[in-house]
Structure 1
C-alpha cells in the first residue's frame, strides 16, 4: 500500500487518503461477497425446484401442513364446553 501523504505529524504518518481507500475497498469486497451468497441461495432453490427430491419434499410439507390444519379444525375452540 503506497502512502499518499508522507508528512510526519507528531511522529506518526498522516494517512488521509489511504485509510479512506482501504475502507472503500473493504466495502466493495463485502458487497461482492453478499451478492455471491445471494446468487448461491437463488440457484439452490431453483435447483431444488427442478429436482425430483425437491418436489417430493415440497409435496410432503404440503401434506403435513394440510394434516395440521385438519387436526386444528377438529379441535374444539377454547370458549366452548363439550
Structure 2
C-alpha cells in the first residue's frame, strides 16, 4: 500500500503543509496549517467510485487503466517543527 505523508512547515512568512516538493497555500498560523493537513489526509483515505482512467506516462504514451475507488493510500501528517511538548525541533 502507498503511504502519503504531509509535513507541516514554515512557508512564505506563515505555515503550510507539503507533499514532497509541493506546498499548500500559506496559512497564518501553525495550528491552521496542521488542521488543514489533517483534513486533506483524511480526505485522501475516503474511497470513491471505480473508473476507467486514461493518462500519459513519462514517455508520452497514453495508457488506460482500471482504478478501484476503494484502493486508497495510507496517510500521515508529520509536524516538521513542533513536538508534542511544545518545543521546536532543531
Relative to the length of structure 2, the TM-score reads 0.23
Larger RCO of the pair (alpha carbons < 8 Å, separation 6+): 2
* Higher strand residue share: 2
* Higher helix residue share: 1
Relative to the length of structure 1, the TM-score reads 0.25
